Amino acid sequence: MKKVLVIGGGASGLMAAIAAAEHGAKVTLLERNRQVGKKILVTGNGRCNLTNMNQDSACYRGGEPGFASTVFRQFGLSETLRFFEKAGVYTRNRNGYLYPYSDQASSVADALRMEAEHLGVRLALGNRVLRLKVSGNNVSGPRFTACTEGWNYEGDACVLAAGSAAFPSAGSDGSSYTLAKSLGHHIIKPLPALTSLQCREGFYGRLAGLRMEASVRILVNGAELASDRGEVQFTKTGISGIPVFQVSRYAVRALDEGKKVEARLNLLPVFGEEKVTEETKEADTALEEFFRKRIRESGWKSGEAFFSGLFAGKMAQCLLERSGIPKGKKAEEWSEKELFRLLSCIREFRTDILAGGNMEQAQVCSGGVDTSEICPETMESLLVPGLYLAGEALDIDGACGGYNLQWAWSSGYTAGLHAAENTQSFIGKGENL
Ligand SMILES: Cc1cc2nc3c(=O)[nH]c(=O)nc-3n(C[C@H](O)[C@H](O)[C@H](O)COP(=O)(O)OP(=O)(O)OC[C@H]3O[C@@H](n4cnc5c(N)ncnc54)[C@H](O)[C@@H]3O)c2cc1C
């Protein structure tokens, strides 16, 4: 019976262990925490957005754009749904975002743990792998030794699924990178992704706590790189919320390359996404028409009162200040230039991005083990035969919305299956002889 070691008992490691055990291997899973699936418990605000019905290759980012799609051809959305149904997790569909019907992330972690135990996976908890050695030869095949503080674990194949460097309080401290690097792999610099953004301007302290519908565009050296729309949250130091998370990986990577990064928010995207240019400034836009009508009807109001029912008071104040309109000036007395500056501010609320959030809070990492060194059909290392990699350890990061867990399920299952499968084909050949 082939012995498979799995390093890491998160989403991808549990999936790999289950797949390897289902395919006949004797599996030992080494997890540094005293429990498996600790990070799963915090996903989706404790409800676990385990996948998404709308799968699009653009939702998976990394150095090799097509890599994730090839992996999904082995084990994709429908296989994942079948897997969880069989494991007892009935799903709830919220606009394509899938959650366990119980709305409890713990039920997903429990289902995986129970499946693994049922299949005879040995869960070696409280075991942090410090070193990973490979020995063996062409005849005997590879031999892996995972060294922990108290014991050396041996295996014929090894799945490295120890996560990234994001959210280390759940156990992922960047071990995957150290272990993969020790065996010759290259690491694309890990940076926080799905994170808030810190901005230069001083007014954020006053906007903190505000939430509003907006679209966010990220411009790097003046060129638009990413955009999203949804509920933006203003923090003491900048902007957050799902649309900001979605574009953050592009902003953080560009900042790391020393580029100038700017965000432009449309604070009333319901009126369309027209950009303010010299040509459009005279044009009758829906937003301009709306404001002219509002001024005709209640132009006797000034300052925050004019915006009441449209924006929160603190945003109204900020907009007036940024467009240089005196607080006490009635709207009907605004000059054309003042109105134009105000509309520009609403359509393109510009802010300079200084940094992303830190690794402690980031939901995932961009970067990781270079996927050009991994076979996407099997998840086996092209450098170290018998070594398989899965999950966030790799240079793949998904968009917010269940895509990171889908990547963990798909890459984990593929890695586990192939880690076990070599034995099966070997046994098969032996029987034929
Ligand atoms: C707050 C938060 C919310 C999220 N919400 C969602 C969501 O709703 N939907 C979604 O798709 N994604 C979500 N994600 C992202 C998702 O949780 C991760 O992408 C996914 O869990 C990664 O799985 P993994 O197995 O690759 O890594 P991890 O889950 O990090 O697992 C790695 C495991 O390896 C263990 N380990 C590390 N080093 C060693 C070592 N040296 N020896 C032994 N064990 C080791 C760790 O303790 C850990 O248990 C969220 C993330 C966070 C932080």
- How far, in Å, from the CA of 204 to the mean position of ligand 1? 31
Residue 384's alpha-carbon distances to 125, 330, 332, in angstroms, are 26, 72, 73
Give the model's pLDDT for residue 166.
97
Cα-to-centroid distance, 39 and ligand 1 (Å): 5
Domain parsing of the chain, residue ranges:
3-192+365-432, 197-356
**% residues pLDDT > 70 (the chain):** 95
Residue nearest to atom 5 of ligand 1 (CA): 43
Atom 4 of ligand 1, nearest CA residue = 43
What's this model's pTM, rounded to 2 decimal places? 0.94
Q: Whose CA is nearest to atom 49 of ligand 1?
A: 10
pLDDT tens readout for residues 275-307: 655 555 555 589 999 999 999 999 999 989 999
> In the structure, which protein residues have their CB atom closer than 6 angstroms to any atom of ligand 1?
7-13, 30-33, 38-39, 42-44, 48-49, 128-129, 161-163, 167, 170-173, 175, 363-364, 391-392, 402-405, 408
Q: Are 342 and 325 in contact (CB under 8 A)?
A: yes
Taking CA atoms only, the protein residue closest to ligand 1 atom 30 is 163
pLDDT of the residue at 279: 56
- pLDDT for 328-350, tens place per residue? 999 999 999 999 999 999 999 99
pLDDT tens-digit readout, 238-277: 999 999 999 999 999 999 999 999 999 999 999 887 665 5
With bands split at pLDDT 50, 70 and 90, how would you rate the model's confidence at 401? Answer: very high
Which atom of ligand 1 sits closest to the CA of residue 411? Answer: 26
With beta carbons less than 8 A apart as the criterion, state whether 160 and 176 touch: yes
Distance of CA 398 from the midpoint of ligand 1 (Å): 13
Contact 382, 375 (CB under 8 A): yes
Q: Mean of the pLDDT values across residues 17-42?
A: 98
Q: Which of 30, 405, 406, 409 gets mutated to test ligand 1 (max ligand atoms within 8 A of its CB)? A: 405
The pLDDT confidence band at residue 433, using thresholds 50, 70 and 90, is: very low
Q: At residue 121, what is the residue type?
A: V
Place of tokens 């070599």: 422
- Alpha helices for 199-326 (secondary structure H): 204-207, 242-256, 286-298, 303-307, 313-322
> Distance (Å, rounded) from C-alpha 315 to C-alpha 317?
5
pLDDT tens-digit map of 70-127 = 999 999 999 999 999 999 999 999 999 999 999 999 999 999 999 999 999 999 999 9
| Mean pLDDT (whole number) for 210-227 | 97
CA of 171 to the centre of ligand 1 (A): 8
* AA letter at 254: A
Pick the CATH number of 3-192+365-432 from 3.50.50.60, 3.30.1240.10, 3.40.50.620, 3.20.180.10: 3.50.50.60
Record the tokens describing residue 186, joined without a space. 């290259």
